[in-house]
Amino acid sequence: MIRALVVDDEPLARERLMALLRKEKGITAIGACADAPSALERIARERPELVFLDIQMPEMTGLELVRRLGRHVPHIVFVTAYAEHAPEAFDLEAVDYLLKPFDRARFQRTLERARARIRSSRDATLTERLERLAASLGHDRHLTRFVIRTAGSVTFVPADEVRHITAEGNYVVLHTAAGTRMVRGTMASVEQRLDPALFLRISRSAIVRIAEVKEMRPHFNGDYVVTLKDGTKVRSGRTYAAAVARLLES
């Protein structure tokens, strides 16, 4: 449910907007304000997600009101009879600019834009919260889970399910029994966060879980072909000879 507030100094304009909002599903019209100061107070108190805001009002314009909102700015639809304020309104990232007079079809197009913007904002907020939760759960110094962001969701992959990791462009690929998942990042950044007692980087593009290594065979020039328990073969790099020596000793 989207909570919407109307701000307009004209009584008829306020009443019409409230009437239009009441006809829409998924919208709760929480009330109307006749001036900017009372709107500032109500926005701070009730935190509506959507505000239909007149521009030309006594004491303070709608544009000035938005600039005073600080961090918690709702999604704004400017409603006015004056077209010349449109560039400034969109500089303030307004959802839309409704020119009076407007019909219900135009109003509903504005609402669709607002709904899309609010859905996107809610998805981003959910993602941020889940990432903060993931960070708060990671009490250990070493990485215990990978966080994979997709549109509107976050998936967790426990580090102890990862058999080996490879590089692919600006991403690393996590190989697990269930398949592969891609995470944006570099091999260096991932290597720094993994427990070195459990994972070992054996080349520029490969990290293996030590417990998954089944066999090692010499290749050329000091390189090795490392075979994992699932049959995957990973070639080591010459510059990682010291790391490979750890495998030979374990």
- CA-only gyration radius of the chain, Å: 28
What single letter denotes the amino acid at residue 75?
A: H
Tell me which residue of 44, 53, 118, 113 sits closest to 88, measured CA to CA: 53
Rounded (to 5) percent helix, strand, coil in the chain: 40, 35, 30
For the segment 136-188, what is each residue's pLDDT rounded down to a tens digit?
555 456 888 898 877 667 889 999 999 999 999 888 999 999 999 998 889 98
Count CA atoms within 13 Å of residue 41 on its CB side. Answer: 6
Name the superfamily (CATH) of residues 2-129. Response regulator (3.40.50.2300)
The residue ranges of every structural domain in the chain are: 2-129, 145-249
pTM of the shown model: 0.51
* Other CB atoms within 10 A of residue 94 CB: 22
Domains 2-129 and 145-249 share a fold: no
93 is written with which tokens?
Answer: 């990232």
3 touches 28 (CB < 8 A): yes
- Tell me the CATH architecture of domain 145-249: Beta Barrel (2.40)
For the segment 54-95, what is each residue's pLDDT rounded down to a tens digit?
999 988 999 999 988 876 789 999 998 887 877 777 777 889
